[in-house]
Amino acid sequence: MAEADGTRRRPRRVGWLMVAGVALAALNLRTAITSVGPLLSEITADLGMSAVVAGVLTTLPVLCFALFGALTPALIRRFGEHHVLVAALLAIAGGLAARAAVDHALPFLLLSAVALSGGAIGNVLLPTLVKQHFPDRVGTMTTVYTTFLALGTTVAAAGTVPLAHAGGGWHVALGAFALFGVAAAVPWLLVLRHEPPRADPAAALGLRRVLATPIGRQGVLFFGTQSTIAYIMFGWYAEMLRDQGLDAATAGLALSYLTALAVPASLILPGLMARVRDHRGFIVFFFACYAVGLTGLWLAPLSGVWVWTTFIGIGMGTFTLALTFFAVRTRTAAGTAAFSASSQSIGYLMGGLGPFLFGLLHEATGGWHAPLALVAVIAAANLAVGLPLGRPRHLEDQISPAASRPAR
């Protein structure tokens, strides 16, 4: 109630600045990742990266998301949500700008980690800010957040190569996205004084307390399984289609279409979820989409490639579902922060293992059936943990009184 009262007391101008701030911040959360992929060959060649160092670069996002995502609730308690988000956005902007100016592999990796740390913190903070500042508009603002997240991901992936060809090469192309971070920091700098009072540290929800609850464990596994499937598809989908006879251009287009399907999901899903309390129907729907798409890839991968891609792309809407759960399965902003941090920190580590296991199975068997079977098992696990998570409950209601008492 206090949060809702606070939103009514603030000036309308402040509310609109926060809406713009959420949208612009979300636009930045993936630019450090998806801007590198299209120019990875040029970057590794120019910086003299070995295959091992290039592997570190591609693994760095999940490591940073796990580490800095877990640290975010402690940073919030120490410095406050708005100050931490401003610092995260400036870290994104500074890391992107600085790494574009270097000519050696090690500083490129370190500065990439700086930018990725800002994205990791923003991943946890934005659902928290939505819950804190828009408790009566969670569905609408989650739509804003997830849609701009998807747009930023797509723009960085699609725009990097044209920027590089326009002049300046990969240095200019990567550095240009720093401007997004600077722009996103402006609204939050303007509303710094409207930051709510910090929560009592004794009442904080840490990783251990969240994981002691069924909802906490289900949230981690749900986020982890959907993330695993997503990373497998991002890393291997085009290669799998090319290996079975599809030309490179069409395979790349299929992958782009797969990722673009996240935009309509982010536009529609949060609003629908906000209107109902029981979300198990959504879980079943997305699993059914995965089942159809994976079955098609198993039986006739090329003859129905666009149909199978559509179903799998829709199934990957579980990412938006997972992000929306952070708000609808908690009662407070502190609960949202803790639930988001625990799910994302461990979940991204799980996701990082997916492409490795998928590739290992492909190499061991020489085909794609065993790797696809792995994806099917992960999708079934996503269904199994998603069904209880979809029931109308809240994290704070499962925190035991003993766990709630501060340590002496």
Vertex 70 angle, CA 66 and 76, to 5°:
140
Whose CA is closest to 31, among 87, 124, 93, 121? 93
Residue 377 burial (CB < 10 Å; 0-12/13-18/19+)? exposed
Q: Are 115 and 91 in contact (CB under 8 A)?
A: yes
For the packed helices 280-299 and 305-315, what is the interaxial angle rounded to 10 degrees?
150
List, in order of start, the domains of the chain with CATH numbers. Answer: 1-192 (1.20.1250.20), 206-397 (1.20.1250.20)
Cα gap 59→43, rounded to integer Å:
16
Q: What is the pTM of this model?
A: 0.84
Q: Give the 3-state secondary structure of the chain.
A: CHHHHHHHHCCHHHHHHHHHHHHHHHHCCCHHHHCCHHHHHHHHHHHCCCHHHHHHHHHHHHHHHHHHHHHHHHHHHHHCHHHHHHHHHHHHHHHHHHHCCCCCHHHHHHHHHHHHHHHHHHHHHHHHHHHHHCCCCHHHHHHHHHHHHHHHHHHHHHHHHHHHHHCCHHHHHHHCCHHHHHHHHHHHHHCHHHCCCCCCHHHCCCHHHHHCCHHHHHHHHHHHHHHHHHHHHHHHHHHHHHHCCCCHHHHHHHHHHHHHCHHHHHHHHHHHHHHCCCCHHHHHHHHHHHHHHHHHHHHCCCCCHHHHHHHHHHHCCHHHHHHHHHHHCCCCHHHHHHHHHHHHHHHHHHHHHHHHHHHHHHHHHCCCHHHHHHHHHHHHHHHHHHHHHCCCCCHHHHCCHHHHCCCC
Per-residue pLDDT of the chain (408 residues; tens, 9 = 90+): 344 444 556 788 888 999 999 999 999 998 998 888 778 888 888 999 887 888 788 889 888 998 999 899 889 888 999 999 999 999 999 999 999 999 999 999 999 999 999 999 999 999 999 988 998 888 899 999 989 998 888 888 778 888 888 887 899 999 999 999 999 999 999 998 877 776 655 556 778 889 999 999 999 999 999 999 998 888 788 889 988 898 878 888 888 888 888 888 888 888 888 888 999 999 999 999 999 999 999 999 999 999 999 999 999 999 999 999 998 999 988 889 899 999 998 999 898 888 889 988 998 999 999 999 999 999 999 999 999 999 999 999 998 654 444 433
Cα gap 22→130, rounded to integer Å:
8
Residue 56 burial (CB < 10 Å; 0-12/13-18/19+)? middle
Q: pLDDT for 117-164, tens place per residue? A: 999 999 999 999 998 899 888 889 999 998 999 888 888 877 888 888
Question: Alpha carbon of 357 to those of 225, 255, 312, 353, 360: distances in Å?
Answer: 13, 20, 19, 6, 5
What are the structure tokens assigned to 129, written together?
């800010």
